[in-house]
Structure 1
Amino acid sequence: MHVVGAASTAFAVEHDAMLDELVFEAVSAALRECGLRKQDLGLSVTASMDVLDGRSISSGLTNAAAGGYLNDSFRVEGDSGLAIINAAQAIAAGDVEVAVAVGVHNPEISGSTQRRRAFLDQVSNLGFDPHFDRPVGMTGTAVYAMHAGAALGELDALAAAAAGDINRGAGLARSVRRNAVTAADVLESEPIAWPLRELMLPAESTGAVAIVLASPARAGRCIGRNVRLTGFGHATGGYTWDGQWLTAPQETTRRAADMALAQAGPQRESITLAEVSAVTPALQDAYVQALGLNDRAVINPSGGLRSNYPGLANGALRLLEVMDRIGEVAPGQAALSHSIDVETGLVSEDVTVLVVEAA
């Protein structure tokens, strides 16, 4: 199937807009880009989470804004990469010709950075086992810190890698960290959980991203983008006690990548551009290897998560970043996006991998 439209809202540390306003802005812009209207949609899939949205059945608010009123629609409580896969599967099955996947992230909390971080940590803690993990204060951030500590080589190397990511994204329209930094700046930023500093972690933002997919026949009658989705994969990791999250955190990504690359066929050897969701610099090399990327591939030209991480909208943003640069890829070459639901960190990791080529 083809991706025929994609758009995002502006990204901000905290949006004043309501959830449905963000969703409507992204979906309407994506439909406008490909010359489609609401009545052309056969399915709307939204990625959001009630506990973050601050209301039960929060998709009732966003459903109409995503084009789902009097239409087929559903919500996934996970990363928008999974919403894209659900929309793609509906088209591949012949159930619909056009579908939209939209991720929205604007947690119902306001105030200081510390207050927002504490809220997200509390939500993360609720996702862990209530009898064994939750009482000891496990959070996704704590898990990433434990992995970074176990894998730690030189702290300076982590800082340099983080600075490189931030500097690649500095000045780009979708980045929320707009200023260049040095490795020393990274080491001097706020300590979060040893050995991680604030600038080593994702640049938290809020906003919405919409992706419009269409069958090959329908895509031929659309204007705008013409990108083929040639492979997609999804995998989930194990529980805390299996230990793989610490010793081999890349294995969940490897399983998702194997599935996506098997569908893509010969293209697995021609991927020259990738957006990789490495939450910390300590994970970057392991993920790149698990994704089967070679030395020719350009990794995270956007700066990746250290330039912008809009929560559950991340999977759609990573695909959008890839598609915006796919014109720079030589004909016959492919690109890849990799995204993760970070609610419980590397524990029960939820990974999606998408392979695309310019049609």
Structure 2
Amino acid sequence: MTATENVDPLEQEGEIAADYLEELLEIADLDGDIDMDVEGDRATVSIVGAELPELVGDQGERPPCAAAQRPGAARDRGGGPGEGLRRGGGDDSDDPVRAEGRSRRRRRRRPRVVVGRRRAEPARGRSPRGRRRRMTDPVSRETPPAPAVAAGVFSSRLPLAEAYAGLLADAGITRGLIGPRELPRLWDRHVLNSALLAEAFPTRTTVADIGSGAGLPGLAVAIARPDLHVVLVEPLLRRATFLQQVVEVLGLDTVEVVRARAEELHGTRDFPYVTARAVARLEKLAGWTLPLLSPGGDLVAMKGASAAGEVDEAAPTIQRLGGEVVGIEQYGADRVPEPVTAVRVRVGPAGARRWDAHAATGRGKRGRGSGKR
């Protein structure tokens, strides 16, 4: 089944509004859940989170982009029925980094869709006019050259890494997966930074990248480590389509794309290793990812300077789930000036317990985090 099948048009239009709100939170650097409620012929998108007053003001003012969406809203803005599947970022756009999504909640569920492996039919969408989208839409941007250190990280697969960087700089920007301002630091901040995480995993194992977005860190790890089976879990159709096309173009036989929320996989799939990059704070991330681990499995969560604080904050939740923090680790210290920081959390021999979202957040329903964004 391709990523474009069985998509509710109202759901697509709700996702458009949710994308705007997600972008707003990224710009303001605020934590919050995107909550999409689909009821009848109406999709309402809102932000839920402790930091919400900082965004909307003391009197609860709501930003215009949080308005409820009705069928045809995307077309009213000049788009067609499939406009929500692709958000162009022209030369004047100033999108933030779109490679990683924040949590988004929804109340109407849909069955998960497995996009498939390389041998599956490519998941391709069509533009409103019916023209089949190309993997590389023409843009006036030049992919920055790979730094010298990249040869040591990717070895003989450096050409694949360069091709992936080219796709990020081209289709990744035009489709709104990364922002144009990220282009000069595409290698240092994104591709190389993600690939260094490959040191965290033993040989010939499986790693699931939750909320993969544009494939960071999962695709970079898969290119650097062809011995690994990498599963990219990404709920948003636009991003899952991009991931599947990259897998097809680069011929990555060891990579699988699954379009689903993390919690939709609870009880149906498990992995010895799970990773995520900038999806949510560790407390929330643990709730979504620890139930995906095989007994004795590890979550390797990419974090920055906030790692120690997030560990302290998440410790009670991690313990309640049956996990323990192994430590805060760094990778690539001998290769780059700023090594990658990651928190390693391990579940016990019995595996992880399911997350009681109400106990963890005090807000009832679980956030969507790696879920369908």
TM-score (norm: length of structure 2): 0.30
Q: Which has the higher helix share?
A: 1
TM-score (norm: length of structure 1): 0.31
